[in-house]
């Protein structure tokens, strides 16, 4: 990444940069609007489901979060974990959560909401619902500090990270994908500072256990004992808290609730099946569908194609000595082995591969003036714009 003070020439006017930053954060805020049948506000982001509200924790049900569908989304379960992040009420959690131990593994964001809300149920749940918005602001701040948003290409980088479908879906469903990805990106940018790298990655791993892949950024620079010990120390600092927490989850919840069994599969099989299925759905259903349904069907096809472009980028533009490249390359490998559970819809695949999207755009931004830069940017991001379109319209 080239810092602002290293660039020649004048950048954007400060007032224009401030206005652009406000506009970048305005699109996520649009997700708080009311829609037909569902009131607006933070509580809608919890994704409450009528079926699960009937057996929710009493203090959560008492808040009357608006149901968004019969079953709702995953955020409703993590919001309830925020009311008991130490898992003291194990029996109640087993009844309230769909997959108790699986959900409890990702305690980082619920615990943060509990601390922010000082244990008061309404404040805790509201803090959890808004936590993604906080991390969107943190991401904007990191980008402003890193690039100073001096040039249009800096704004394109910010838009690609803040407006991508994975980011906006994480916000709209109150999930941990965006917070974990922001922490991983911060960790990668601190690759030269082992303490900062380890702290950010440890926090990210407690939000999503797959964040341990960020340890690729801590790969030793050489086989000298000093470099090896430094990398081993970072790995231990990241893995030990996660391992202890997973052991506590098993002790308290006793394996209650199974993890998804089809999250992984043979290389590219589920991706190819998704491409074929999305193309068939588009040809069959789009002509008679409303415009918004046609748009969704189109982007169900485009999203996996853009994610494939991002993965290919790391194979073509190899730079093993760069921490961002190593980080992105690991997620590009993960891309190959994702299964039907992830590729079932664009809202899932773009969330799971949000770190890939972050690494792709940051690495591309660092290659200022490289041949084909704009083509890579368009191909890698064009299919990830559906949620932003929905938010604006």
| Structure confidence by residue, pLDDT tens digits, 303-343 | 999 999 999 999 999 999 999 999 999 999 999 999 999 99
* pLDDT at residue 2 in the model: 38
Name the band, by pLDDT with cuts 50, 70 and 90, for residue 3.
very low
pLDDT at residue 157 tops 60: yes
pLDDT, tens digit, 9 for 90 and up, residues 230-240? 999 999 999 99
* pLDDT at residue 237 in the model: 97
* pLDDT at residue 36 in the model: 77
pTM over 0.85: yes
Asked if the structure places residue 338 within a domain, the reply is yes
pLDDT at residue 181 tops 80: yes
Q: Which residues contact 127 (CB under 8 A, 6 or more apart)?
A: 82, 112, 113, 116, 117
Average pLDDT, the chain: 92
pLDDT at residue 370 tops 80: no
Structural domain count of the chain: 1
pLDDT at residue 257 tops 70: no
Asked if the structure places residue 271 within a domain, the reply is yes
Helix 177-189 vs helix 108-116: crossing angle, to nearest 10? 100
Asked if the structure places residue 381 within a domain, the reply is yes
Asked if the structure places residue 373 within a domain, the reply is yes
- How much of the chain, in percent, has pLDDT values that exceed 70? 96
Asked if the structure places residue 353 within a domain, the reply is yes
Domain containing 342 equals 260-393
Name the band, by pLDDT with cuts 50, 70 and 90, for residue 260.
low
Average pLDDT estimate for 6-12? 55
When mean pLDDT is compared across 32-41, 106-115, 211-220, the lowest value belongs to: 32-41
Name the band, by pLDDT with cuts 50, 70 and 90, for residue 148.
confident
* pLDDT at residue 217 in the model: 93
Q: Which residues contact 270 (CB under 8 A, 6 or more apart)?
A: 338, 339, 340, 342, 343
Rounded to whole angstroms, how far apart are CA atoms 145 and 140?
9
CA dihedral 236, 239, 245, 249 (to 10 degrees): -140
Asked if the structure places residue 62 within a domain, the reply is no
Average pLDDT estimate for 14-34? 86
Asked if the structure places residue 352 within a domain, the reply is yes
b or e along 59-88 (b: 16 or more beta carbons within 10 Å of the residue's beta carbon)?
Answer: ebbebebebbeeebbbbbbbbbbbbbbebe
Asked if the structure places residue 19 within a domain, the reply is no
Give the total residue count for the chain.
Answer: 393
343 C-beta neighbours (distance < 10 Å), count:
26
* pLDDT at residue 4 in the model: 40
* pLDDT at residue 131 in the model: 97
Average pLDDT estimate for 205-211? 97
Rounded to whole angstroms, how far apart are CA atoms 344 and 349?
8
* pLDDT at residue 134 in the model: 96
């Amino acid at each position: 990444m080239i810092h602002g003070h290293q660039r020649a020439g004048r950048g954007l006017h400060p007032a224009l940069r401030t206005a652009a930053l406000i506009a970048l954060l305005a699109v996520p805020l649009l997700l708080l609007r009311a829609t037909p049948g569902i009131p607006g506000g933070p509580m809608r982001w919890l994704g409450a489901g009528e079926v699960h509200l009937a057996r929710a924790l009493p203090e959560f049900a008492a808040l009357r979060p608006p149901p968004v569908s019969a079953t709702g989304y995953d955020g409703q379960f993590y919001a309830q974990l925020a009311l008991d992040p130490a898992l003291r009420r194990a029996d109640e959690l087993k009844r309230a959560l769909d997959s108790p131990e699986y959900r409890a593994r990702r305690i980082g964001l619920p615990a943060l909401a509990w601390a922010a809300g000082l244990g008061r149920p309404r404040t805790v749940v509201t803090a959890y619902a808004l936590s993604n918005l906080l991390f969107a602001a943190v991401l904007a701040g990191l980008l402003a500090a890193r690039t100073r948003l001096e040039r249009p290409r800096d704004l394109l980088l910010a838009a690609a990270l803040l407006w991508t479908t994975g980011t906006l879906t994480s916000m709209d469903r109150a999930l941990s994908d965006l917070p974990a990805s922001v922490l991983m990106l911060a960790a990668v940018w601190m690759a030269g500072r082992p303490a900062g790298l380890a702290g950010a990655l440890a926090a990210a791993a407690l939000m999503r256990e797959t964040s341990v892949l960020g340890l690729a950024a801590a790969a030793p620079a050489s086989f000298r004992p000093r470099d090896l010990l430094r990398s081993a120390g970072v790995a231990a600092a990241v893995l030990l808290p996660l391992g202890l927490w997973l052991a506590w989850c098993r002790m308290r919840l006793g394996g209650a609730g199974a993890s998804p069994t089809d999250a992984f599969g043979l290389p590219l099989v589920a991706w190819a099946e998704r491409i074929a299925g999305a193309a068939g759905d588009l040809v069959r259903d789009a002509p008679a569908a409303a415009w918004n349904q046609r748009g969704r069907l189109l982007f169900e096809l485009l999203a996996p194609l853009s994610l494939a472009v991002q993965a290919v980028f790391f194979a073509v533009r190899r730079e093993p000595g760069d921490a961002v490249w190593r980080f992105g390359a690991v997620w590009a490998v993960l891309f190959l082995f994702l299964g039907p559970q992830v590729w079932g819809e664009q809202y899932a695949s773009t969330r799971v591969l949000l770190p890939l999207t972050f690494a792709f755009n940051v690495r591309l931004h660092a290659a200022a003036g490289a041949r084909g830069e704009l083509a890579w940017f368009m191909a890698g991001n064009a299919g990830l714009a559906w949620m932003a379109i929905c938010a604006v319209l």
